[in-house]
Structure 1
Amino acid sequence: MELTQQFENAVAESKTLPEKPSNEILLQLYSLFKQATEGDVTGEGPSNPFDFVAKAKHNAWEEQQGKSKEDAMTEYVALVQRLKG
């Protein structure tokens, strides 16, 4: 199966996991998804210093900086498979 199709399937499967992942895993899924679909993060991040969720998401995505879209897709697929058990 083509990587893009595997990624799209994993995105759909991530919404039906048997149990809700930890916040750390959710941030990892988010950052890999953003890297795979949009590439490197741009901008400064959230301007509101008290928007902790947006800041955490921005920082997680920023940690993926430089990773190719293909590598991010592969890691996302592998993570979802691991979470499915």
Structure 2
Amino acid sequence: MATEAKFKDAAESAKAFTKRPSDDELLELYALFKQATVGDNDTAKPGMLDLKGKAKWEAWNGKKGVSKEAAMEAYIELVEKLKAEYA
């Protein structure tokens, strides 16, 4: 199966978790998903009062330079790891 198809399957699996992963795990999933689908973060940093937006922005920004392919593979690995705990 191609990486892109595995990535889409992993994204669907992540939506179906029966328990909620930790905030750090969710931020990592978000950052890898955005890097895989959009690429490097070139959006403006959210304001200081938007704590959730700022955390998401910083997580995604931390993936700068990671190729889309590498981000997809890391996302797939993380979802597989989390499936054991949360699915």
TM-score with structure 1 setting the length: 0.95
| 1:65 Cα deviation after fit | 0.3
TM-score with structure 2 setting the length: 0.93
Gaps (5+ residues) in structure 1?
none
Runs of 4+ in 1 over 3 A off after TM superposition: none
| 1:17 Cα deviation after fit | 1.5
Which residue matches 2:62? 63
Aligned counterparts, 1:5-20, within 5 A = 5-20=5-20
Instruction: Indicate if the aligned counterparts of 1:45 and 1:58 stay in contact, CA closer than 8 A.
Output: yes
Matched, 1:82 2:44: no
Q: SS at the partner of 2:36?
A: helix
Which residue matches 1:53? 52
Gaps (5+ residues) in structure 2?
none
CA offsets 1:51-83 (integer angstroms, 9 cap, x no match): 000000000000000000000000000000001
Identity across aligned pairs (percent)?
A: 43
